[in-house]
Structure 1
Amino acid sequence: MHAIQLHTFGPAENLRYEKVPDPKPGPGQVRIAVAAAGVHIIDTTIRSGAHGPVPLPELPTVPGREVAGIVDQIGADVDTAWLGKQVVAHLGNAPGGYAELAVTEAARLQEIPDNIDPAAAVAVIGTGRTTMGILQFAELGPDSVAVVTAAAGGIGTLLVQYARNTGATVVGLAGGPAKVELVQHNGAHIAVDYTQSDWVEQVRAQLGDRSATILFDSVGGEITRAAVNLLGKGGQHLVYGWSGRKPGDQPFALSEEELAERGITSQLVIGPPMLQRAGGNVRVLEDRALAEAAAGRLRPAVQRFALADAATAHHALQTRATVGKVVLIP
């Protein structure tokens, strides 16, 4: 089969499209003929060799932890009913997704609903479950004013859609006219370009006398500092990323004293807090995300790249040149 291999940690150019032996499923495992493989920002961190939330793999390695496709082989002790089924799976900390064939535990499989294509299913199994995890910390309704940073990204897109469905007023922040147009299309009542110097004034003018009640934030830095100032008393700042934070920046934009003075809470919700609230079972979040997508309430935005162009996909993701979930197609 063909796969993307990483022989040396470093830049995206180190990702090589090569012929490798076909993997074989062991006991309790299945093999998936991959139709779509997800690319996550954590993949770029691992590729660079930087230490992060996932342990660095031994080299050479085939990156990627999210795949969708058809089960074409099963190992011992696996129900034969899985053969031929269209499935999606998060591979956990075990890589191997950037390939034409991938092996995973049968316990990780989720059957893909008929109305979801493999690329969208990959977005749902990773980005969607994270979105459901973030939303465990939010109470949204018609009285809410939700601000979403990076609203044209994979998680941002789903947060905009979900918040809109609850009746909340949704403010989406994105970089550039094309992304702002996409955020509007996804249902944001207010969509602004945060690269414009007066974007905060634009939001305030459109909100009138209303303040934001909740800020979904994955950016950090100056954009977050400005967005936090849109929150009124009692507002929530939910942090699930920090792509725009520079070395030395404070993680929560405001000090504890400032937060207390303004009556705002700021909370990191990614990782252990999310898992703990889900009862330690990420499958609960996957089930919710797939159900929302099957019902048409969540519509993942997907940007496709050929498997052979994984390096280009990594570059695009790191430079914020992508829209929605980045997916590789073998």
Structure 2
Amino acid sequence: MTTTTSAAVEVTGVHRRYGGPDGFEAVRGVSFEVRRGELFALLGTNGAGKTSTMELVAGFTRPHAGTVRVLGHDAFAERPVVRPQLGIMLQEGGFPPDLTVAETATMWAGTLSDPRPVGEALELVELGHRSGVRVRQLSGGERRRLDLALAVLGRPSVLLLDEPTTGLDPESRRNAWRMIRGLLAGGVTVLLTTHYLNEAQELADRLAIMHEGRVATSGTPAEIVAGHPARITFRLPGGAGLAALPALPGLRPDSEDGGPGRAVTIRTDGLQRTLTELLGWAARHEVELSGLEARPASLEEAFLAVADDQEPLGVRA
């Protein structure tokens, strides 16, 4: 019987290893939960363990340690109970190439207890007009859209999407986002992996960034971004080094000096204050800061900080 927990997915201290007791450990103590009706995104560098974690949630294999529960059930031991409530989109679908799009969806619908009408599922991903085309004749992006159609065909309560928009053109990606938002509005819970940071920024209620098999940071996109500095970049005017600049917040005394004409990046937690002081100094000294850009912290900054092992604040010339 399904519990009344507010979490649709609970991952607690899971480990996954390949190649026996001394093999490669792809997932190393990962924990997170996905609340009912939200979209939770897993981000990470290549090899971070995202897909391995997703496969544990799908119940394809048992974790070597830790627990995975979906809708209150053990994802592996109780997979016959969980599976009818899951929609799963893997990185590769592996469809029979000689079947048409409609035949492929109809075949898949035959394995489900309460599928959507095939035509409805294909229209959701804008493949209705391609229903009579054989799978081998589809483009890579169209095959991804067929993957997505099959994932939602069974009216899932929990939808697992592993890199769902890879290979899609920008318009198709936006349409996929629109469909996912519609599913969320209908109460579906979504666990998503993606390499597109703007996709996570657009869709995720909360997210985790993985690195080397562990969760490096997690929270709402705003919470994760808030922990990282804004950036101001410009080029030093001729004849000026860093020593000529004022004592700006984020400009450390021990920063490496930059020669004239070299690019300077100031990282700061007080973007407006630092920029005001910099521009005031430039006005007083009649200095033109070429290539001046000021950018608030972004999800990309947070991601790169994890990938780069959290570079310290300061100036890089």
Q: TM-score if structure 1 supplies the norm length?
A: 0.28
Higher radius of gyration, 1 or 2: 2
The two structures have a TM-score, normalised by structure 2, of: 0.29
